[in-house]
Chain A
Amino acid sequence: MINIPSTFRISFRALRVNKMRSALTMLGIVIGVAAVIAMLSVGTGASTQISEQISSMGSNLIMVLPGATTAGGVRMGMGSQPTLTLGDAEAIQKESSAVADVAPVISEVAQVVYGNQNWSTGVVGTTPSMINVRDWHLSSGRPFTDQDVKNAIKVCLLGQTVVDNLFGDVNPVGQIIRIKKIPFTVAGVLAVKGQSPNGQDQDDTIFVPVTTAQKRLFGTTFPGMVRILMVKAKSTENLPAAEKQITELLKQRHHIGPKQEDDFTVRNLTQFMQAAEQSTRVMTLLLGSIASVSLIVGGIGIMNIMLVSVTERTREIGIRMAVGAKTWDIRLQFIIEALTLSLIGGAVGIAAGVSSSKAVAMLAGWPTIVSPFSILIAFGFSGLVGIFFGFYPAYKASLLNPIDALRYE
């Protein structure tokens, strides 16, 4: 059997003879591989971003909003009429077995001042459960306690964006800031979470005890009412059960009859986001498959050129057979030639794919991610394309009769 390195040398030489032709043939593979890598990078980037956002929202999250849902699923007048109370929150916490924790939310945009710096941000009145419900950590300081809520103490937790805008280099823990001119002690700083799935900066926020917010800050016309309840189910499996329990409990508490419309809406955010994640995955697959079509077209280009090459080099094949080349020696030579074309094309295509995905990220601002897996797939696939489309011409060449090949004009 012929040795493989020598065969590669022979292939290189054969490909160098027709430089232009080889380059054009490779171009098909280059474009195919580059397209696969770029497309997969866009898809992977999108789904990675969504997964990150989902985990930043907090896992197994259910939101309870005031206002009804119509039969068509469109929310009507949500939040216009506050119907949820702190009592609802406590009841859910106590009575729903599938629920791990509940955090009530009341919020309003307010002016915040520290020294001569001021900043306008969303102030959220809530309970210590919030930290757990949203899987939020503190980067420094301590959270506020149930005791703080009970006594309506003026303490607060700051999001990183607020810290950046008010404090600069100063350590905020223990400092006094003024929210709506009322002094609050900074108990701690919330760890960075980044953007929410709908593009909001989740770090641009301040948490205060819900009672303090009600009594001192917002002076609400509906005492004891809250805007949203954030609920954490015990596990993903428990999400549907938690939804059902909450709905039933609130119907009962709000005295809603069987024919009446609910005055609240329960939304399972995690499921919603998982559906979004699923659809980006499908999109990634779709983009990848469309790009692979161009890789296959490139493969057909290789096959075409190899067939031409076999015909042109019939005499050469005859000479090789006359001096003792066997069936597989001839086959290997042409397969390796096709493989060389496709692998060089693949390597160039990877470079082109990586740089075009960077270009897309820069120009369109999409979060593209080139995974090593997609490079491996594209390169492996281009190799397979070379072998697959190189085989038929190689097979054809190997079946020639030595004397006929030698006599070929």
Chain B
Amino acid sequence: MAMIEAVEISKIYSMGDISVNALERVSLTIEKGEFVAIMGPSGSGKSTFMNILGCLDKPTSGRYLLEDIDVSHLKRDELADIRKKKIGFVFQGFNLLPRTSAIENVELPMLYDGLSLKDRRQKAMVALKLVGLEGREHHHPNQLSGGQQQRVAIARALVNTAPVILADEPTGNLDTKTSVEIMEFLTKLNKESGITIILITHEHDIAAYSRRIIRFLDGRIISDEPRKRP
């Protein structure tokens, strides 16, 4: 059973007269436990594709199966359930709730799962420890560095033990040292917990942590190959 199966997915943005073909008949299969990097120039449709994989957006045409479930026909609330249980999304811009402590940000997915406050606290604490943010749980996002904020975002993606983590340029605006720390953590997660990881990046150093590299250009996949050993 493939973890992710995209069949001829297209996405067209139309604004009045102009329409942009952000994705054109993209097909792709990703197995359970893979670590995939998506690369490509700016505007090539990487984020658009990732948002569809994350059930945040719907394709204009094509089918998307997540663990053999055809997601294209699901209703709003069913999609919300999939996002909650199956997908951990790490955004380029962190997307943490402002004026809300790190631990409460991490608790968020469990809040909508109906867990009690006590259980939420406990699990969120475990996730924060895992990303090395012990002692910072009561800091608000504006009291944390970029790397720390990204780690809070990763902890939030982890906390519901989703089988897939989607990360859109997770190290986009972090320094090399922090990027390395975060990539090593994701690698460990992939190896030890078997979590499927798909990440978008512009940097070859980052892509080097993956085991498969997919390249986009103008809304199409132009290459899909295992990472070459350096």
Residues of A within 8 A of B (CB): 1-3, 5-6, 13, 17, 315-316, 318-327, 329, 401-403, 406
Contacts and interface: CB of A to CB of B under 8 A. Distances in A.
Interface in B46-97: 51, 54, 56-57, 76-77, 80-81, 83-85, 89, 91, 95-97
A156 B84 CA distance: 90
A327 B116 CA distance: 20
Nearest to A318: B95
Interface residues of B, number: 29
Contacts of A329: 112
A315 B99 contact: no
List the 7 closest A-B pairs by CB distance, nearest first. A324-B84, A323-B109, A403-B57, A403-B56, A326-B77, A326-B80, A324-B112
Interface of B: 51, 54, 56-57, 76-77, 80-81, 83-85, 89, 91, 95-100, 108-109, 111-114, 116-117, 156, 160
A6 B111 contact: yes
Nearest to A16: B99
Contact of B51 (A1, A5, A325, A403): A403
A323 B156 contact: yes
A324 B116 contact: no
Contact of A1 (B91, B98, B114): B114
Contacts of B91: 322, 406
B99 A17 contact: yes
Contacts of A3: 111, 114, 116
10 contacts: A13-B99, A318-B95, A322-B56, A323-B84, A323-B108, A324-B80, A326-B81, A402-B83, A403-B57, A406-B91
Contacts of A320: 108, 112
Nearest to A3: B114
Contacts of A321: 80, 83
A2 B114 contact: yes
Contacts of B114: 1-3
Nearest to B83: A324
Given A2-B114, A3-B114, A324 B56 contact: no
Secondary structure call for the A interface:
helix
B95 A315 contact: yes
Contacts of B97: 316, 319
B168 to A, nearest CB: 11
Nearest to A7: B111
A255 to B, nearest CB: 91
B91 to A, nearest CB: 8
B56 A406 contact: yes
A199 B56 CA distance: 76
Contacts of B99: 13, 17
B113 to A, nearest CB: 7
B56 A326 contact: no
Contact of B77 (A5, A17, A319, A327): A327
A330 to B, nearest CB: 10
B89 to A, nearest CB: 6
Q: Give the residue among A315, A319, A323 with the most B Cβ atoms within 10 A.
A: A323
A4 B208 CA distance: 46
A46 B100 CA distance: 53
A151 B16 CA distance: 111
Given A323-B89, A402-B56, A402-B57, 12 more contacts: A2-B112, A3-B111, A316-B98, A319-B95, A319-B97, A322-B56, A323-B112, A324-B84, A324-B85, A327-B76, A406-B56, A406-B95
A320 to B, nearest CB: 7
